[in-house]
Structure 1
């Protein structure tokens, strides 16, 4: 069966052991795992297709995990929360699953693993696992109300009334609203008295206004290998100049830590001690422009020298001025005006407070039989396959517990 053929069932049974709201990465993984435990499982989604975010992620090839995953790759108010699930279902376990299904994949920089052909191949694996586990998958099914009576969850949906003793919220978050992303999971959490950590766009481009927006827009399309920092967090990855501001892996990474009003710092020549290089140029009489063009596109060198002028021959420049100029290159301070918003964000920071949820089972501590997994929680991974690994790991842990 093609992954695109997941569609609305004409008739739903009304009574299940487990209902999972959200047919994305964590929801499908949880559903298959629970189904293999002999549970009668239904997974529903209001979107027209399951796993839409998988389909478009990673340029359509889905960066589905990373070879090197640890709790240090995640942002969470409780940094220990992620450890249990990640240790019980490491990336090697998911790699083993996709290899068993014959998925061709490729390794890229920094341990990132992508589908070799298309992300829909991965969706098909998840769909097959759900089929084998006896899971029912239904899309175009919107939940209108959830009630809890006599230890049962009663759902009123656009496809009829449903009942289950266990309810899993795998609704994702606010990123990619065009893919029907919503904050419905937070609404359920609030209904049952759980705390929500304030949300904001994550892994998102940063935008500028005024003269810097104009300067950066003039460089649109250029990429540089740099080191980007925000406060104590640094990432040595590429940045991309766009019409609105800065994007690329390095910017997306620091966006998780950036706050409005704060600066970011860019080391434009990481790995070099620039002041020593400038002193060498001063002695040799070599051209500064020619030296910079070894590392930067000529268009960037030209713009840089317009903004931060310097003599092409450094022989008459004092060492103090060279030191200051080297600092500009290795500590270029910029003040973004905002993020590009949820439309451009890959993930959502914040979410259901992890102190409200068991790190082993993902069951809400205040509400029996109610579980939260994946991105709806206050857990955000760095760029590089970590958010999908969190989906797989939290989905498996919950699926075994329900």
Structure 2
């Protein structure tokens, strides 16, 4: 248990944050015989785990690989991911008797509840004697006179040889998210790359919004592209703009002013479809033809916005056909903004990886200080990849602290 040091409490390792990365790291370090204290600001640990995956936690992805992550240094995540794979975490889940299933494209979910993942992590921590203190805010971290660290919290001061910052990013502030991890990094001279909301719905403003709102709740599968991001997945109209997996994915690549290209046919050859429709039903109007592939309201909406309007298919000349194919396969969507951190699943950017060891996640110039999980400038695609980074980065640090 924690001891006393100069009237203050002391331990070997202090983990700041009781989320996915923090709990995993505490369990790994504790298994090595290290005395670990986890400081969590909320009233309970793992709140983002609990709400993830619709309450069933998409805890990893079978195909998680470095290509599924964004970072200013795309090579940084390779070491940790290679040493702790999805199969490793699946083995832990199975050891705890948690039933799971693959939903799609390697995404693994609990059969029952995300509460099982939190309980598993807490059980792992309890088994190695890791102490968890909830409802305790972090005021700051500084070097102490012994060459270790002094962590000032709302419940007093702690001293430790090592500190692991697993405080997450800025996404979903109502869940307790804050910028404390970035502040700690800056206090120790580590650079922090600009942050923004990622895996987040898009919004449109002004006169354009009602046109989207009238289709709220309608969804379809599309292929969406923005900068280096290209994804085939679901799109969902909302009363404020566009959401769904395809939009969430490309939001990680989008910057204000960028245009998202939407292929309503999800990669299928629009020209071939249109040729077949014109041959089979030359007198049909465009909206009727589109309604064979899309919900009627969406078909009407698309037809109204195409240059050819709701013309009969036989009325389309060669130039009109070319324009229509281009519009349906690369429809330009220019969001006014995203929903921001309020609903973002993750934060892009964070502690600059150039300041960290890719093998251990330790700050290169600050012995004993580690940064893991979302606080680091490593952001995964939708579908369990961000949890896999949490597990892998936690394992890398937990093995050496």
Q: TM-score, normalised by structure 2?
A: 0.95
Q: Which residue does 2:319 correspond to in 1?
A: 320
Could you tell me how far apart the structure 2 residues matched to 1:26 and 1:91 are? Answer: 15
C-alpha distance in structure 2 between counterparts of 1:53 and 1:74, whole Å: 19
Residue 57 of structure 1 is matched in structure 2 by: 52
Partner SS, residue 178 of structure 2: coil
Q: Which residue of 1 aligns with 2:132?
A: 137
- SS at structure 2 position matched to 1:257: coil
- Give the number of equivalent residue pairs: 391
| 2:40/2:134 contact within 8 Å kept | yes
Could you say which residue in structure 1 is the equivalent of 2:309?
A: 310
Shift of 1:231: 2.1
Secondary structure of residue in 2 paired with 1:224:
strand
Partner of residue 360, structure 1: 359
Cα distance per residue 1:72-91 (max 9 Å; x no partner): 00001111100000000000
Corresponding residue of 1:382: 381
In structure 1, distance between residues paired with 2:312 and 2:197: 45
Residue of structure 1 aligned with 2:296, choices 253, 276, 298: 298
Equivalent in the alignment of 2:180: 184
Q: Is the 8 A contact 2:304 2:310 kept in 1?
A: no
CA 1:291 to 1:192, structure 2 compared with 1: closer, same or farther past 3 Å? Answer: same
- The CA deviation at 1:13 is 8.1
TM-score, normalization: structure 1?
0.95
Q: Is contact 1:285-1:313 (8 Å) kept?
A: no
Aligned partner of 1:346 in structure 2 is 345
Contact 2:19/2:45 (8 A) holds in 1:
yes
What's the CA shift for 1:312?
A: 4.8
Residue pairs, 1:3-402, within 5 angstroms? 14-149=9-144, 150-286=146-282, 287=284, 288-308=286-306, 309-402=308-401
Contact residue 381 and residue 387 of structure 1 kept, 8 A: yes
Q: Which residue of the partner structure matches residue 9 of structure 1?
A: none
Instruction: Give distance in 2, aligned partners of 1:143 and 1:231.
Output: 38
After superposition, the C-alpha distances for 1:142-177 in whole angstroms (9 at most, x for unaligned) are 122322022111122222221100000000010010
Contact 1:352–1:376 (8 Å) recurs in 2: yes
* Structure 1 runs not aligned, ≥5 long: 1-11
SS of equivalent to 2:341: coil
Q: Which string of whole-angstrom CA distances, capped at 9 and with x for unpartnered residues, describes residues 94-130 of structure 1? A: 0000000000111111110011111111100000000
Would you say the 8 A contact 1:279–1:322 is kept in 2?
Answer: no
- The answer to whether the Cα contact below 8 Å between 1:279 and 1:319 also exists between their aligned partners in 2 is no
Residues 334-376 of structure 1: per-residue CA shift (max 9 Å, x gap): 1100110100100001000000000111110111110000000
Q: Distance in 2 between matches of 1:192 and 1:139?
A: 25
Do the aligned residues in 1 keep the contact of 2:287 with 2:310 (CA within 8 Å)?
no
Rounded Cα–Cα distance in structure 1 between residues aligned with 2:398 and 2:59: 19
Give the deviation of 1:270 after TM superposition: 2.0
Counterpart CA distance in 1 for 2:319 and 2:299 is 22
Q: CA deviation at 1:311?
A: 4.6
CA distance in 1, matches of 2:272, 2:151: 68
SS of 2:313's partner is coil
